[in-house]
Structure 1
């Protein structure tokens, strides 16, 4: 069916937000699509407050609320039924379904709608997944009725023409769609089924963006090759999850750099406001998650960048005085230097080396002192450099000395800092790359290991942030930023933060609260060193955890997860003495108590209810480890 210029298009927009908020990118998205629809219905899963409800009503013809059940697919279904029952579809030539999982438009939608209107189709979408011809038995996709993943048009943006819309088989499809409980069921029972189901009935579908030439090495080009999709295919939308998905989720993505490169490209080469992305990203995604996905990093380089800067240098050892002098000498004209020394002798040495600097002696924690005593003096300065140059008391702790020297090398050249901050899209604060050879092997620390800090954060303005399961650790807490970003920084409860050992974790969270990213600076020498360090660490882990049959990274991870699952299963086969002495969580203890109190059949029924139909794990006490 080819659409005429007078064709009538109806739209269904499915929306959900866990906080019931409508960020600014949503009205932009909906309004751009509504321009090409004669009527647009917003189906909201859950609730919105009055202000956010008004944002949707300003760009849509109707807003309807439903329980947050069945994901976007069920919202599509109920939206279709609502329009059908109201007879709004009687004269419709096309019904369009889309959701909030994309940002855009990057390009005007007129081109897409005009091209697709001239193609003889019964249904179409933005993109098609190439499918997977593999046995799905025993996988999470074993509910796909075809036994394999067929090529399919993806459901975040698709349309059906009147030739299918007004066919009884389309109505029957939605009436017989099973109840959907989770994402896997939504994809298995609808998205992977819809295209083949109707093509087998003789209907014709196609994607707007043809990516077949990339399918031999790319499953999902919109995620794996988003810049190529923009430059070569002119995709009007980019996926929201591009900016926070795990770097290894799409294995064909070179170096896992697609998300960060995409954000930079949008900022540098398009008119799309990345502030819309940052507003949503920093509100809904933990900083530890999107930072690992984007890894906004820059190489310090000599640039003729100017800007009045206040530098706060913290030293506890004469060994780093030369680094302090170098940093101070890099400051542009009109700047100021504040030095925090831990003793009077070091203060005198600094005053001799930097006669124009303000030297202060304190035994207080440096960042807390700087925030409370020096920040109020910085009005009129455009930038702030906070550079801790601290050394361990024992000179043999070379790892910590390396960390101090890396900090100086990363941020010690202020013109380079200004240039990096200016060219990194979305970044409001620069830090040195977290060192993987310090006291902590990982730069992401589980929130469960920081109970005091977690409790404290819930008492500050930062409590509104999604903390996630882990927090980013920034050794030394060094940073460079525009002073305007630091509003409210001095008001944080620094004494309590220090007691909770939370100083290293505050910077990414504070930047997030300002809808900004925390970026990283690193000299190329540091980058190369850390690359080889990481390879060495992975080799050593593989030597311990791998086997001849499980020597690749993904197989080692699979094997180790199997061991973890094995032990988790054993928790339900413990004796009372074992349960009493084991450090179990409340949920585990409650299950043990219920298993004692309830009849076996009743407990088994409860277990299946809480574990999506899975049976109680068998008793493995006599089995060998995998």
Structure 2
């Protein structure tokens, strides 16, 4: 069996990530040759990585998306005599992660099924919904074009060549899908050729008026029940509005859990690609990196050492922290930093085993608290909790009392020894999790990100930003949990600065420091605090929809 692979690749930075290398290495097991058609440019390293698995690499102008690349291949880049010497041709692209299962088994199973002339991984059922830009009254049943196998004799049919030659190319996504993906199956079938799908997703779509993409709304069932070898990258960056069409937005979270526990695919390949290309605000919600943890109980197995660094400059803060942090777990130390020496007896009364540092002239902000860690033996600890006091800042724009803010902060970060152990266990079970923030007050986002030039600050501190940023930036709360690797990366950036630090700079940059270090950010809530927050959020939502509250 001689099988030709045609790989269509595009990256806005010309970078070839590890997930692409894994995909090509896997496909090489079933392909005699692989030709890569790159839309746009490649870095030198990217070209070298693709060359390991591709006999030929063509770089072309980025026009027409996948359809343009394939048209170029079939009509210009390679002669018909060349690709007609193969028994099969498979084209595939970089828009999916995988394979999650051995791809040779997929080809072997399709060989054993009823004969067909062309096949794909998934199939979109016929729908009454109208595709934007299409002249057809509905969406025709069609194989989804990210992975298509063409067999002889279709491959050498004159009409197959003419299909590509006559195809209209557009840089408009909807028109391209209409001219290419929606037309391909219908056209080939009209010539008498038989098609099939490895995952017959027509069975999943029970609503002919919906027109939803099965790779999105049935993602979990595809990987868990149909053993689909791929998951689409687009699912990870869908907006809330898109992710909750026909689902509760749980598909990516459930699928990732299944992939981790039932396949050997390294999900770090997915994270690394997402971190480089997309602002975390685009994918954090789909991955559900939000953890609600109990404070009443925890596992008994040992936890790595952790340090809590608490800023305490007022007696009220001391009392409020003591209510949450009534005792420490055995592997956790407490360091207190204060500007007021007269508070030392009170601090010692409530936290007798803590270490105290007096720093009278220390500036405000998370950055100055991080710099205190330069004076601490950080190598002893694997995790750090930074507690900024949040006092005397009437210009913070929040309509919430500072006492309530501290209650939420302490209660969601250091709610007793069991909770702290559960936080550490969460980090241990999520090796790519770098930061855990407490929940954001609904009223606070606009105030925290206003009047800050993220791109300029990232440039000044030498921090790479994702290729695609959100309309609203990711930011860290003034108090949080951090993995040591993120702390050290932040200290390296801060220690290199020669000019005075902007008091709020680290709150804006820490998330991107974590991303550039290979770690994601999540949110943590204590279970009782979560119930309280849910009530507040529901009140805001109800008020918004009733017109009584203007958000």
Paired residues of 1:309 and 1:331 also in contact (CA < 8 A) = no
Other-structure match for 2:165: 175
* Aligned counterparts, 1:508-547, within 5 A: 508-544=511-547
- Matches of 1:148 and 1:300, distance apart in 2: 47
**Aligned counterpart for 1:132 among listed residues 93, 105, 127:** 127
State which drifts further: 114-123 or 420-429.
420-429
Higher relative contact order (CA 8 A, sep 6+): 2
Q: Distance in 2 between matches of 1:452 and 1:228?
A: 43
Tell me the distance in 2 between the aligned counterparts of 1:110 and 1:326: 59
Measure the CA separation in 2 of the matches of 1:513 and 1:497.
Answer: 24
Equivalent pair of 2:366/2:503 in contact (CA under 8 Å): no
Which 10-residue stretch deviates more, 259-268 or 309-318? Answer: 259-268
Matched, 1:147 2:137: yes
Q: C-alpha deviations, 1:16-42, integer Å up to 9, x for none?
A: 100010011101001111210111101
Q: Deviations over 1:31-79 (max 9, x none)?
A: 1112101111011111112221111110122111111111111112222
Q: CA deviation at 1:86?
A: 6.8
2:367 matches 1:368:
yes
Matched residues in 1 for 2:451 and 2:263: separation? 41
Is residue 152–residue 195 contact of structure 1 (8 Å, CA) maintained in 2?
Answer: yes
Alignment correspondent of 1:426: 432
Structure 2 equivalent of residue 316 of structure 1? 313
CA drift of 1:121 comes to 1.2
Distance apart, 1:489 and its partner CA? 0.9
Greater mean alpha carbon deviation, residues 80-89 or residues 292-301: 80-89
1:357 to 354, 357, 364: 354
The match for 1:403 is 405
Aligned to 1:468: 470
Of 174, 184, 207 in structure 2, the residue corresponding to residue 194 of structure 1 is 184
Alpha-carbon contact 2:223-2:255 (below 8 Å) kept: no
Q: Which residue number in structure 1 is paired with residue 37 of structure 2? A: 43
Cα offset, 1:330, TM superposition: 4.8
Tell me by how many angstroms 1:286 deviates. Answer: 0.7
Which secondary structure state, in structure 2, belongs to the residue aligned with residue 230 of structure 1? helix
CA distance 1:415–1:82, shift in 2 (3 Å)? same
Structure 1 gaps, min length 5: 1-6, 547-626
1:460-609 to structure 2, matched below 5 A, reads: 460-466=461-467, 467-475=469-477, 477-493=478-494, 499=502, 501-544=504-547
Q: Is the 8 A contact 2:464 2:512 kept in 1?
A: no
- Shift in CA distance, 423/156, structure 1 to aligned 2, threshold 3 Å: same
Local SS of the residue matching 1:420:
helix
Q: CA deviation at 1:453?
A: 3.8
Deviation string, structure 1 residues 237-293 (Cα, Å, up to 9, x no partner)? 111122221122144453212223333332333211111111111000012212233
| 1:493 CA drift (Å) | 4.3
Q: Which runs of 5+ in 2 are unaligned?
A: none
- 1:62 maps to 56
1:399 positional shift: 4.3
Give the deviation of 1:491 after TM superposition: 3.1
Structure-1 separation of matches of 2:479 and 2:32 = 54
**Are residues 247 and 46 of structure 1, via their aligned partners in 2, closer, same or farther at CA, if it must alter by over 3 Å?**
same
Q: Is 1:99 paired with 2:98?
A: no
CA, structure 1 residues 185+400, in 2 after alignment: closer, same or farther (shift >3 Å)?
farther
Distance 2:420 2:373 in 1: 19
For residue 15 of structure 1, the aligned residue among 1, 9, 12 is: 9
CA apart distance, 1:113: 0.3
1:492-534: CA deviation from partner (whole Å, max 9, x where unpaired): 3498796374343233222211121101111233333333333
Question: What SS does structure 2 have at the residue aligned with 1:379?
Answer: helix
Instruction: Give the distance between the partners of 1:222 and 1:266, measured in 2 at CA.
Output: 15
Q: Deviations over 1:207-247 (max 9, x none)?
A: 11012332015833322232221121001111112222112
**Matches of 2:304 and 2:183, distance apart in 1:** 58
Tell me by how many angstroms 1:82 deviates.
5.1
Residue aligning to 1:282: 275
Query: Which 10-residue stretch deviates more, 486-495 or 93-102?
Result: 486-495
State which drifts further: 23-32 or 115-124: 115-124
Tell whether the 8 Å contact from 1:300 to 1:420 is kept in structure 2 after alignment.
no
| Count of residue pairs the alignment pairs up | 529
Structure 1 pair 513–160 and aligned structure 2 pair: CA distance change class (3 A): same
CA distance in 2, matches of 1:541, 1:453: 30
* 1:284 to 1:236, Cα distance in 2 relative to 1, 3 A: same
Q: Distance in 1 between matches of 2:530 and 2:84?
A: 62
Do the aligned partners of 2:489 and 2:513 also contact (CA within 8 Å) in 1? no
Distance 1:528 1:213, change over 3 A: farther
The match for 2:108 is: 114
Structure-2-length-normalised TM-score: 0.88
Encode CA deviations 1:555-579: one digit per residue, 9 max, x unaligned: xxxxxxxxxxxxxxxxxxxxxxxxx
Counterparts of 1:159-308 in structure 2, within 5 Å, are: 159-216=149-206, 219-301=212-294, 302-303=297-298, 304=300, 305-308=302-305
Matched residues in 2 for 1:414 and 1:269: separation?
29
Is the 1:131–1:151 Cα contact (8 Å) retained in structure 2?
yes
Mapped to 2, the partners of 1:280 and 1:12 lie a distance apart of 22
